[in-house]
Structure 1
Amino acid sequence: MVLTAQARGERSLRAQRMLATRTAGWPYIWPLTRDQVPKAVPALHPVWQSVPPDDLKALDARIADGALRRWAVLTHHTQRALAATKASTPDPDLLQAVADRVDGGRRP
């Protein structure tokens, strides 16, 4: 089993004695750099394979900051938006709508 958590969540996990004594390792995964995003994100999920690298970088800058957990949230919302609009691939307008939904409409 793999559990993922940010720093605050990791402290909570470590505080659970039963879990802490049965854990084999506590690896840290560094956030993706902005240059890694166009290479790594399309490998995470097919929905990102048709999105231009600059759009991925912009989405990362606005929402994810290289965090895989945030990319999972973006993937989920993008898939829901694609299903709702019956689109086959995300276009800039759909990505903008997803970003607005995820961050509450704040602009960079």
Structure 2
Amino acid sequence: MTRRIQFRARPSTRDLRHELFHALGPPGRPPSHAIGFDRMLRGALEEPRVLVCDEAQWLSKLCFEYPRHLWDGTASDLTIVFTGGNGCFEMLQSEPMLESRVHARQEVGRTPLDEVLTVIPAFPPVWAEVDPDLIAVCDQEVAHGNFRAWAKITHHLTTGLRRHPLIDHGAGLLEQGS
């Protein structure tokens, strides 16, 4: 099961604790003291999980250390993925205890058009029947090989199709927006 956690810019460790509590859904109310809260979160993280911290460049050094603190105290196969823009990797490197646990760094660049034309129709079903030329135009004009941009386009497309269900396969909706 996947739960999305969103933080405001520069969240505190208290914010992280509460967002994790609500995402993991343990019974009861959030503990009032940090030690009890951490113990409860470690228990909730004992089954194998992947914790994705998106926009990690917004985390303070203390907040970068907090998931590592949970990881060190968890008896499971917890995997933590930090994703982010400018400054994310530099922040990881500045924290030796965290950086020493980084198993892989992956920089994701633009996806070439031939891959876009293969992946986009196969990934979100809404694109399965759309003309490849229209997908290429969307990539050239808006997405530029960026999957975050494709996610936004797909979200807008599916929202538009819910509002206008008579438009077939999204092509008509995309052409209307041009």
TM-score, normalization by structure 1: 0.71
Aligned partner of 1:15 among 69, 72, 91: 91
State the secondary structure of the residue aligned to 1:28: coil
Aligned to 1:63: 142
Q: Which has the higher strand share?
A: 2
Aligned to 1:51: 130
Q: Which amino acid aligns with 1:36?
A: E
Aligned to 1:91: 171
Aligned to 1:79: 158
CA contact (8 A) 1:13 1:19 kept: no
CA contact (8 A) 1:33 1:66 kept: yes
Are positions 1:33 and 2:112 aligned together?
A: yes
Report the Cα offset of residue 57 of structure 1: 0.2
Q: Which has the higher helix share?
A: 1
> 1:31 and 1:73 mapped to 2: Cα distance?
16
CA contact (8 A) 1:32 1:67 kept: yes
> 1:45 and 1:30 mapped to 2: Cα distance?
20
Q: CA RMSD for the aligned pairs?
A: 2.4
Are positions 1:42 and 2:121 aligned together?
A: yes
> 1:19 and 1:83 mapped to 2: Cα distance?
44
Larger Rg: 2
> 1:97 and 1:26 mapped to 2: Cα distance?
41
Report the Cα offset of residue 22 of structure 1: 4.1
Gaps in structure 2 of 5+ consecutive residues: 1-50, 52-80
Identity %: 28
Aligned to 2:17: none
Q: After the TM superposition, which segments of 4 or more aligned residues of structure 1 sit over 6 Å from their partners?
A: none
Aligned length: 95
Report 1 or 2 for greater relative contact order, CA contacts < 8 Å, sequence distance ≥ 6. Answer: 1
> 1:58 and 1:27 mapped to 2: Cα distance?
28
Q: Which amino acid aligns with 1:64?
A: A
Gaps in structure 1 of 5+ consecutive residues: 101-108
CA contact (8 A) 1:13 1:20 kept: no
